Structure 1
Amino acid sequence: MRGMIQRVQHAKVKVNDDIVGKVNSGLLLLLGIEKDNDHAKADKLLNKVISYRVFNDGIGKINLGLTDISGELLIVSQFTLIADTRKWLRPSVSSCARKLHNKVVTGHFGANMEATLLNNWPLTFMLKS
């Protein structure tokens, strides 16, 4: 499981011109899930994301996590984070997880999505669990 977080002033995701998720100040998490990932790995990564210190404290030092600032989190499925790019000129996504069930709370698995974001200082980090 891999996640890429970006600190954002705001972000939103649209599918067929409908906004399916949006946040104001907080984090955008692009999430890649592999076939063998389980709930324990997901919990580990989520705890890391919400605690990861990427926000400024009162003296300007990057020392606060998402919960410290009462920020919001937008999670977007991004299977290409799992792609194997070591061979040829075409990424392999054979190790990516497939759709697990039909009920998705927000968004549409496998849909063409339009993501818009405004970075709050260009901070981007790759996290693994």
Structure 2
Amino acid sequence: MMALLQRVSEASVRVDGEVIGQIGHGLLVLLCAEKGDTEAVADKLLSKLLKLRIFGDESGKMNRSVQDVAGGLLLVSQFTLAADVAGGNRPSFTQAAAPEDGRRLYEHFVAQAQKDHPVVQTGRFAADMKVALVNDGPVTIPMRMTA
């Protein structure tokens, strides 16, 4: 399972012009399930993400996690993270999980995040979403977890 974390001062997701998810200070997390991913892989990724020390302490050193700073999570499904551009000019998405598996793993990730973290907002799986963010730093970190 792949994630692209962006430390943000604010972020939101719109569908059909309506804001459906919004956070202030925290992490915008773009999520992609790949073929062979399981709930255990999703849980491992979430655990690491919640503890990752990418927020500044009083000295400005990246030493605090999203939990330490009581930041929000905005979780957005994005199968295009699995893009393979090695073969030509049109990306291939063959490594992305099938839509039903991607939805199941995304929904599992969201449910677990809601149990483990107080502020969780989401996008809408398979919707045409407009994502807005103010990247803080900028800090952008790719993550991949496997079984």
TM (norm. structure 1) is: 0.92
> Which structure's residues are more often helix, by fraction?
2
Q: How many residues align?
A: 128
Equivalent residue in structure 2 for 1:120, among 123, 131, 136: 136
**1:50–1:65: 8 Å Cα contact kept in structure 2?**
yes
Residue identity matched to 1:11: A
Residue identity (%)? 42
Q: Distance in 1 between matches of 2:57 and 2:46?
A: 22
Q: CA deviation at 1:84?
A: 1.4
SS of equivalent to 2:99:
coil
Contact 2:27 2:73 in 1 (8 A): yes
In structure 1, runs of 5+ residues without a counterpart are none
Query: Aligned match of 2:124 in 100, 104, 108?
Result: 108
Secondary structure, counterpart of 1:4 in structure 2? strand
Q: CA deviation at 1:107?
A: 3.6
Q: Which residue of 1 aligns with 2:56?
A: 56
Identify the residue that residue 97 of structure 1 maps to in structure 2. Answer: 97
Match runs of 1:1-129 below 5 Å: 1-100=1-100, 106-129=122-145
Structure 2: which 5+ runs fail to align?
111-121
Alpha-carbon offset, residue 35 of structure 1: 2.3
TM-score by length of 2: 0.81
Change over 3 Å in CA distance of 1:58–1:107 after alignment to 2: closer
Cα deviation code 1:50-82 (max 9, x no counterpart) = 111110011111110111101111111111111
How far apart are the structure 1 equivalents of 2:41 and 2:91?
24
Root-mean-square deviation (CA, aligned residues, Å) is 1.7
Given that 1:30 and 1:76 are in contact with CA atoms closer than 8 Å, whether structure 2 keeps it comes out as yes
Please tell me the residue identity of whatever aligns with 2:98: R
